Structure 1
Amino acid sequence: MASEFVKTPGWLDWHTEPSRPRFVLPSGAVDAHCHVFGPAAEFPFAPERKYSPCDASKDQLFALRDHLGFTRNVIVQATCHGADNSAMVDAVRSAGRRARGVATVTPGTSDDELRRLDEAGVRGVRFNFVRRLVDTLPMDGLRQVAEQIAPLGWHIVIYFEAQELPELADFFLGLPVPLVVDHMGRPDVTRPVDGAEFTGFLDLLRARDDIWCKVTCPERLTVGGPPALTGEQAAYRDVVPFARRVVEEFPDRVLWGTDWPHPNLTDHMPDDGLLVDWIPSIAPTAAEQQALLVDNPMRLYWPEEL
Structure 2
Amino acid sequence: MEKKTCMAPDRNTKTPVFKAMENACDAHCHVFGPHEVFPYSPKATYWPPDTPEALLRKMHDTIGISRAVLVQASCHGKDNSAMLDAIKNDPKRYKGVCMADDNFTDEDFKYLDENGVKGVRFNFVTHLGGAPDLEMMERVINKVIPLGWHLVIHVNAEDIIKYEDFFAKFDITIVVDHMGRVPTKEGVEQEAFKILCKFMERENWWVKISCAERISPEPPFYDAIPYAQKLVAIAPDRILWGTDCPHPNIKKYMPNDGDLMDLFPLMVPNPELQKKILVDNPARLYGWED
- Shorter-chain TM range is over 0.9
1:1-306 equivalences under 5 Å are: 8-9=4-5, 11-134=6-129, 137-206=132-201, 208-223=202-217, 225=218, 227=219, 235-302=220-287, 305=289
Deviation of residue 108 (structure 1)?
A: 2.3
Q: CA deviation at 1:197?
A: 3.0
Rounded to whole Å, the distance in 2 between the matches of 1:175 and 1:49 is: 28
User: Contact 1:187–1:198 at 8 Å: present in 2 too?
Assistant: yes
Which runs of no fewer than 5 residues in structure 2 stay unpaired?
none
Question: In the aligned structure 1, how far is the partner of 2:175 from the partner of 2:124?
Answer: 13
CA RMSD in angstroms comes to 1.4
Structure 1: runs of 5+ lacking an equivalent: 228-234
Moved more, 71-80 or 171-180: 171-180
Q: Would the aligned equivalents of 1:169 and 1:204 in 2 still touch at CA under 8 Å?
A: no
From the superposition, tell whether residues 258 and 135 of structure 1 become closer, same or farther in structure 2 (CA, over 3 Å): closer
Offset of residue 251 of structure 1? 0.6
Query: Contact 2:123–2:130 at 8 Å: present in 1 too?
Result: no
Secondary structure of residue in 1 paired with 2:26: strand
Amino acid corresponding to residue 22 of structure 1 in structure 2: V
Matched residue type, 2:52 = S
What's the TM-score, normalizing by structure 2? Answer: 0.96
State whether residues 213 and 253 of structure 1, in contact with CA within 8 Å, keep that contact through their aligned partners in structure 2: yes
CA contact (8 A) 1:147 1:176 kept: no
TM-score (ref. length: structure 1): 0.91
- Determine the structure 2 residue equivalent to 1:230: none
1:180-212 Cα offsets, whole Å, 9 max, x none, are 000011112112213433212111222x20111
Q: Which secondary structure does the structure 2 equivalent of 1:97 belong to?
A: coil
Percent of paired sites with the same residue: 40
Measured against aligned partners, the alpha-carbon deviations of 1:254-294 in whole angstroms (never above 9, x if no partner) come to 00011000011120211110000000111001011011100
| Per-residue deviation, 1:236 | 1.2
Contact 2:98 2:121 in 1 (8 A): yes
Q: What is the distance in 2 between the residues matched to 1:178 and 1:12? A: 33
Structure 1 segments of 4+ aligned residues over 4 angstroms from their partners? none
CA distance in 1, matches of 2:117, 2:191: 36
Distance 1:17 1:195 in 2: 36
Q: Which residue of 2 aligns with 1:232?
A: none
Paired residues, number: 290
The letter for the 2-side match of 1:220 is R
